[in-house]
Amino acid sequence: MLDKNSKIYVAGHNGLVGSAIWNNLKQRGYNNLIGRSHKELDLTDQVAVKKFFDEEQPDAVVLAAAFVGGIMANSLYRADFIMMNMKIQCNVISEAYAHGVKKLLFLGSTCIYPKNAPQPMKEDCLLTSPLEYTNEEYAIAKIAGLKMCESYNLQYGTNYIAVMPTNLYGPNDNFHLENSHVMPAMMRKVYLAKLIHDGAWDKVAIDLDKRPVEGVTGSASHEEILSVLGKYGIYNNKVVLWGTGTPLREFLWSEDMADASVHVLLNVDFKDVIGIEKYSSVHFGASTDGAVDRNNSSGRGGAIPSLGEIRNCHINVGTGKELTIRELSELVVKTVGFEGAVEFDATKPDGTMRKLIDVSKLHSLGWTHKVEIDDGVGRLFGWYRQSLTE
């Protein structure tokens, strides 16, 4: 168990989930937290990561850092998505092990599941059929990450837990149109289309100065601004969104995700996830001071045939509820106060048609979500408008 003085490294502490986890830990009285920006520590640099662990010697690690984006980004940067994420995971997990970290929490994504997985998706449907092509590289990297955690636990008796959140949204979300996820991208498009229709060019300028689009800022001419925004389906009182609007999606408020993550970090061990009855004869291969003993075979759960096959030890994190992209757009339109037209371009990809997860394992471990989607969309829009004044 981690006490309030435990040193916890949150990798990706400036991101959507990492920042929420950081704040959640603070609220619970965990103040010995370490964070490094990408400029301060490049997690793809093995030498730099080793040096960081040598100096800081954290007791626990939350691996929330990742190279992420939506359908467009996944399609354009396929090599980057698999290579960058694999480097980050390999460096952090291997150094965590080498430095005797007591607990590690790895954050993945529900895109790990097959494209045509039975709905709602249970943890056991992992690797049962092909992945969605548009985010295959990212999914493969995340599957490798959760398998690293599982395999270290089985070979060395470590206590590494992997959680797989559904689509997340919330404070510190990415609203850059070139590489953002569906909800923030949709919200910004609708907001800008409304501002253009209202003739509120001063507010359009503030928005583009804060988050330029392809290098175009608020100082550009109205024609330049309309031209670049048109590439992303943003027009005067009209928004064009990718796909048919029929795919179903589940969304989880990032602060709920953080609460679930911290709950698992503090209260759930590997033996709880795979079943105490299976693991009762196996002792974690760690010494009393928390340093992992590489030679302690008693920690090698996977080496004991009587335990059978141990896999799919990750935990889904979500709401267990879904809505269509079209329904989401209607919710965003209502929240923003947009009275224009929303059209869907069916020539663009939809991605996976349905991605609802089964959260019964999470519920059995003592956690359920609190923020419903209607309330969450309003909160996100409030955060976005506030961010433009900072």
- Tell me the catalytic residues: 138
Cα–Cα distance measured from residue 112 to residue 166, given in angstroms and rounded to the nearest whole number? 10
Q: Please check whether residue 58 is in contact with residue 64, taking contact to mean a CB–CB distance below 8 angstroms.
A: no
Quote the DSSP letter at residue 298: G
- The residue whose two tokens read 């359908």 is 71
**Burial letters 89-124, b for 16+ CB under 10 A, else e:** bbbbbbbbbebbbbbbbbbbbbbbbbbebebbbbbe
Question: SS3 of 251, please?
Answer: strand
Q: What is the dihedral of CA 61, 62, 68, 74, to 10 degrees?
A: 80
Q: Is 148 exposed, middle or buried (0-12, 13-18, 19+ CB in 10 A)?
A: buried
Token pair for residue 327?
Answer: 């329904």
Rounded to 5 degrees, what are φ and ψ at 358?
A: -85, 120
- The residue whose two tokens read 């370490």 is 34
Cβ count near 280 (within 10 Å): 9
Q: What is the dihedral of CA 253, 363, 24, 265, to 10 degrees?
A: -130
Q: Please check whether residue 59 is in contact with residue 6, taking contact to mean a CB–CB distance below 8 angstroms.
A: yes
- Label the pairing between strands 251-253 and 315-317: unpaired
The DSSP-derived string for 235-280 is ETTEEEEES-S--EE-EEEHHHHHHHHHHHHHH--HHHHH-HHHHT
- The residue whose two tokens read 């079943």 is 275
Q: Please check whether residue 24 is in contact with residue 255, taking contact to mean a CB–CB distance below 8 angstroms.
A: yes
Residues with Cβ within 8 Å of residue 235, at least 6 apart in sequence:
193, 196, 226, 229
Cα–Cα distance measured from residue 243 to residue 230, given in angstroms and rounded to the nearest whole number? 17
Cα–Cα distance measured from residue 145 to residue 130, given in angstroms and rounded to the nearest whole number? 18
